[in-house]
Amino acid sequence: MNPNPLLGVCFHWLGGLASGSFYVPYRGVKVWAWETYWLAGGFFSWIIAPWILASFMTKDLLQVLREAPPSSLFWTCAFGVLWGLGGLTFGLTMRYLGMSLGMVVVLGYTAAFGTLLPPIFRGEFASLVLRTHSGHIILLGVGVCLAGIAVAGSAGISKEREMSEEKKRAVIKEFALKRGVLVATFSGIMSACFAYGLAAGDPIKKLTLQHGTSTLWQGLPVLVVLLAGGFATNFIWCVYLNFRNRTGREYFHADAKGPEARAPMLANYLFCALAGTTWYFQFFFYTMGETQMGRYKFSSWTLHMASIMIFSTLWGIALKEWSGSGLRTKSLVALTLLTLIGSTVIVGYGNYLGLSEVPAQVQALR
């Protein structure tokens, strides 16, 4: 199957739609504490959905994992654990910096580190990016994506400035710039470890192809290992919170918080299952999109970040989170969407140019 960057961009957009939408079903969960519904949904995100889809879409899953190099399994899982730490500290970033500023700092670090470091570590950055026209275009797309994230942060800051002092204190009660930036830096770098985990799983992808799996599904076994690491981090933290906050009974008893606050158990689990499965589909489509990007598959991370921001912003508009904002703020929101969409077009075009550069380079070597 020959790479098709246009198809790859479409897959990444589908992944962004899943990522930007997964939290919506959680709004239907009633009574349960955050740690309860997060872990319930997480079983579907990190364990159930990855195993089921990899089992159906790939061949000899268990045999592939048995044959995989121990170092590849270890580092893929280890990066999953580190990525899990990034997700958990993301909440602290929101507490100290607020949603707008926190988002721009975390996603900025994640987009930059997740996109550029893998080719740097592999020693491919100079040859693939700096010395090719297509690489220059992709690097421009990465820069435009970072600019779009910055504009999104400006829109959030503009909205906050329009609030009264009382509303500001209600939104960010523990605002601390220095502490928030430090936490956001840690969260952003750790979140980028997902991209490193996917790169560490390249030997698993090769084995999957050798066992007869289609190129499109080669990344699914890697997700099984990578998300298991992320599950370990989240499981430990959520269970700790269950014990500390005495919320563990919520998994089994509808009246864990008393008969006056009875939880709709079936509905809660269904909403968690829907949210968790939707969350997983972001990386299901990500691995599909990555297979279509040719030599520049590292650029998939930028496409992923941009797509998440696009659809998160659209959901914010649909849920009227920007209602009551002034013209300047709404203009910045519109500019955010245009910039991020533009970045995906630029990165996709750079990958398209890269396909035609390969024969020319081979011919030059001859």
Mean pLDDT for 305-324 is 78
- Work out how many domains the chain is built from and give that number: 1
From the list 147, 131, 87, the residue with the least C-alpha distance to 309 is: 147
Residue 365 has pLDDT above 50, yes or no: no
Mean pLDDT for 76-83 is 95
Which residue did the predictor score with more confidence, 57 or 146? 57
Residue 366 within a domain: no
Residue 132 has pLDDT above 80, yes or no: yes
Which residue did the predictor score with more confidence, 185 or 53? 53
- The 10s digit of each residue's pLDDT in 335-362 is 988 998 888 888 888 888 877 765 444 4
Which residue did the predictor score with more confidence, 244 or 192? 244
Lowest mean per-residue pLDDT among 29-38, 114-123, 172-181: 172-181
Residue 361 within a domain: no
Mean pLDDT for 280-301 is 87
Residue 68 within a domain: yes
Residue 364 within a domain: no
Which residue did the predictor score with more confidence, 337 or 366? 337
Mean pLDDT for 324-339 is 85
Identify the band that residue 91 occupies on the pLDDT scale cut at 50, 70 and 90. Answer: low
Cβ neighbours, 10 Å, residue 79: 25
Residue 365 within a domain: no
Sequence-distant (≥ 6) Cβ neighbours of residue 217 within 8 angstroms: 54, 57, 58, 208, 287, 288
Give the per-residue pLDDT at 304.
85
> For the chain, what is the mean pLDDT?
84
Q: What percent of the chain has pLDDT over 70?
A: 88
Residue 234 within a domain: yes
- The 10s digit of each residue's pLDDT in 31-57 is 999 899 999 999 999 999 999 999 999
Give the per-residue pLDDT at 43.
95
Give the per-residue pLDDT at 361.
44
Give the per-residue pLDDT at 99.
56
Write out the E strands in 267-325. none
Identify the band that residue 364 occupies on the pLDDT scale cut at 50, 70 and 90. Answer: very low
* Residue numbers of the domain that contains 313: 5-356
Residue 167 has pLDDT above 50, yes or no: yes
Residue 348 within a domain: yes
Q: Is 359 exposed, middle or buried (0-12, 13-18, 19+ CB in 10 A)?
A: exposed
Q: How far is CA 364 from CA 61, 130, 248, in A?
A: 40, 18, 65
Give the 3-state secondary structure of residue 211.
coil
